Structure 1
Amino acid sequence: MKKLSPKKKSATRNARAEKRVIVLINLGTPKSTRVADVRRYLFQFLMDPCVIDIPYPARLALVGGIIAPLRAFSSSKSYREIWTEKGSPLLSLSEDLKEKIQARTSHPVFLAMRYGIPAIAPTIKAALSSIDNKGILHIIPLYPQHAMSTTLTVYREVQSALSALTKENDTLRNNVKVIYEAPFYNNTAYLNALAAQIKPYIKKLGTNNGYDYLLFSYHGIPIRHLNKIDAAQHCNMTTDCCNRRNAQAHAVCYRHQLIETTKAIEKRLKIPSQLVGITFQSRLGSNWLTPYTDMTVKMLPRKGIKKLLVVTPAFVTDNLETLFEVAIENKDFFKEAGGEKLTLIPCLNTEPRWINCLMDMIAKPRDFTAALETADRAFTYRTAAT
């Protein structure tokens, strides 16, 4: 065996000894179902310029004066429908996931929420303290597909927290390396986990004794969000832009990535394409990605679809949008339109295959920082231009 030089031995030892901390980041949740807590959460969420991307004065008037006060009451009622003894399902399930990951790695693992608590800034500070402010900070946004309102806003908030901490301790600049995990929409382990989660439900898909249709319901975004972070200026330039190869654009294109996720699951489970549909839920305004989930579930019974399966692959953790919007609200829409049965396939939550996928990410990170920096520059430039 070839011997390492003293210099290479030292580098190898340093690499092995380098400390690393993992921070899982999910969407967020109100502190409680109280109207005041829900209003506070909605205000923070919707005031994010990556979510409602209009000039600040107009955003403040819209969110602070109209949306948050009016929606707080109905959203509070919706949260009460899904709240458990442990509190928020999103938070409790995320905490369970963190604990299961921690049990399998020697690296410290932290959990933060983009909105609400545990907040990103204090979590990043605690995470860095756990490795004595030296080593690798590995950020894993828990979103399979990249979007301006998910992964990019996590990046911007983490960078803001790091900037503030660097002002307090300038040595962080040279002593900490930040790795942002890449979207995992096409990650083999993730796709295998998602396919395994869906498989038991589709054994009789398309038969008289089974479900008639499988709907992939993704979180909706405004169409302009696709263009706003597309430095390659590829998105929406043609009607088939998602199928025209452009690595730079597709690296940050939510629509392309969700299409790829759906096609990969169809292929793995050998589902006929005529039994599968893609829709988008949770719209807030016009000119969002279509078709809309609520309108689709109202229309499907007229096409003879009486038993419907719904999966929500934009999320890895069940939350208000899955447990209430799909499993309660859209189920009611479906039955009122003549449907017989709507079944929500649970998110991956703490499924062992999903945990294995995360362990693979920790062992072999895919650094997405450069793509995020490019998307953020495009976002900043186009925001300033409006």
Structure 2
Amino acid sequence: MDVSVLQQPVSAPKVYGKTGVLIVNLGTPDSPNVPDVRKYLREFLLDGRVIDIPLVPRSLLVNGIIAPFRAPKSAKVYKELWTETGSPLKYYGHIVERELQQALGNRYVVKLAMRYQSPSIDAGLSEFQKLGLTDIIVIPFFPQYASASTGSVYQKVMDIVKNWQVIPAIRFINRFLEHPKFIEGFAQLGRKYMADYDYDHFLFSYHGLPERQIRKGDVTKTVCKLGDCCDSLQAMNQHCYRAQCFETTRLLVKALNIPEGKYTTCFQSRLGSDPWIKPYTDDVIKALPGKGVHSVLAFSPAFVADCLETTIEVGVEYKEMFEEVGGKHWQLVESLNDSPIWIETLVDLVKTA
């Protein structure tokens, strides 16, 4: 055989069609009215990756207790969040969909979907199916991987496409907490507030999860201690949500030049009586004034768009809690929303997928 033939560069495969890009956030009720909130809560909480107990007790819990009694209370809070443009999560999602489409060009088709409610993953994938796409890239809008968020999106996508006669190549973005532009996006927002005020402390609050879900993720059953095992992110704990959150904080602290001792990583939004990952954000807040902390700059780096957990929980409820125990100044750093650097981050994720 002519050796020169073997030395010829391998040409790239021919591109026949377009690439679909499905960007997926958690979801939001269609309106802040009780029936729509109840519908949303049912779909969300009946997901076996969210409440990971057997189907029958899960259904009894959600349909018999949580949805009927929590929906009216949640509806009041959603009304505080709602704006003239509707849900901020969906509003920013549609802007990002449009901006990302423009940035990527006509070789790509970008669709926004929500894991729960509308626009649905099913509708987005159905659009892709009709277009005869070469491949599909799925980007769950969760910087850190968790079974209840990213894992649930994976499962939903696979449940839908398993029935297709032709399944194109599908690539999933697992996480993006280490992406330099993601970190710089939050750092830019933080610097804006740090330039105007000398904060005593910096709080990095992430959505919580039950401890049992973290332990389930330790397939070796030897690594997870729910403690200092999260002090670094490495091969054996790389899929641990808690460890990824602590790593996100470390990267942001470095980008913002925050000294040791002036920041805390903590977890919010716990539900029920089972233990959730610690430290709890409300416990941390209540202890801060006793440590001489009277001003806090609060980040929510588990969310890329403002929502109930950022605007209301961290921005309003935790602010009131801090002031009740003697705190003087509390400031929430908004999410990336539709910022140019967030669009740049997504372009990079698509191009390297």
TM category (shorter chain) comes to over 0.9
Deviation at 1:245, TM superposition (A): 6.4
- Secondary structure of 1:140's partner? strand
- Could you tell me which of 291, 310, 316 is aligned with 1:303? 291
Q: Which runs of 5+ in 1 are unaligned?
A: 366-386
Q: State whether residues 280 and 291 of structure 1, in contact with CA within 8 Å, keep that contact through their aligned partners in structure 2.
A: yes
Aligned positions of 1:1-386 closer than 5 A = 12=12, 14=14, 16-106=15-105, 107-130=108-131, 132=132, 134-164=133-163, 166=164, 170=165, 172-173=166-167, 176-203=168-195, 210-237=198-225, 239-243=227-231, 246-247=234-235, 249-285=236-272, 286-365=274-353
Distance 2:218 2:130 in 1: 36
Greater displacement, 43-52 / 190-199: 190-199
In structure 2, the CA distance between the partners of 1:46 and 1:4, relative to structure 1 (3 Å rule), is farther
Q: State whether residues 203 and 266 of structure 2, in contact with CA within 8 Å, keep that contact through their aligned partners in structure 1.
A: yes
Q: State whether residues 334 and 342 of structure 1, in contact with CA within 8 Å, keep that contact through their aligned partners in structure 2.
A: yes
Distance 1:340 1:153 in 2: 40
Q: Deviations over 1:1-33 (max 9, x none)?
A: xx999x977x5351x444211000001000101
In structure 2, the CA distance between the partners of 1:244 and 1:90, relative to structure 1 (3 Å rule), is closer
Distance 2:36 2:345 in 1: 34
- Secondary structure of 2:52's partner? coil
Q: Deviations over 1:114-147 (max 9, x none)?
A: 11111111211112323x2x41110001110000
Aligned to 1:371: none
TM-score normalised by the chain length of structure 1: 0.85
Greater displacement, 228-237 / 103-112: 228-237
Distance 1:78 1:239 in 2: 33
TM-score normalised by the chain length of structure 2: 0.93
> How many residues in Structure 1 have an aligned counterpart in Structure 2?
346
Q: Segments of 4+ in structure 1 off by > 6 A?
A: none
* RMSD of aligned Cα (Å): 2.0
- Secondary structure of 1:182's partner? coil
- Secondary structure of 2:283's partner? helix
Q: Deviations over 1:74-118 (max 9, x none)?
A: 100000001011111110011111111011112110000011111
Q: Give aligned-pair identity as a percent.
A: 38
Distance 1:352 1:99 in 2: 12
Distance 2:66 2:173 in 1: 33
Greater displacement, 229-238 / 65-74: 229-238
Distance 1:187 1:128 in 2: 30
Distance 2:161 2:81 in 1: 35
- Secondary structure of 1:261's partner? helix
Q: Deviations over 1:170-201 (max 9, x none)?
A: 1x13xx00000130111122112222221222
In structure 2, the CA distance between the partners of 1:238 and 1:143, relative to structure 1 (3 Å rule), is closer
More helix by share: 1
Deviation at 1:239, TM superposition (A): 4.2
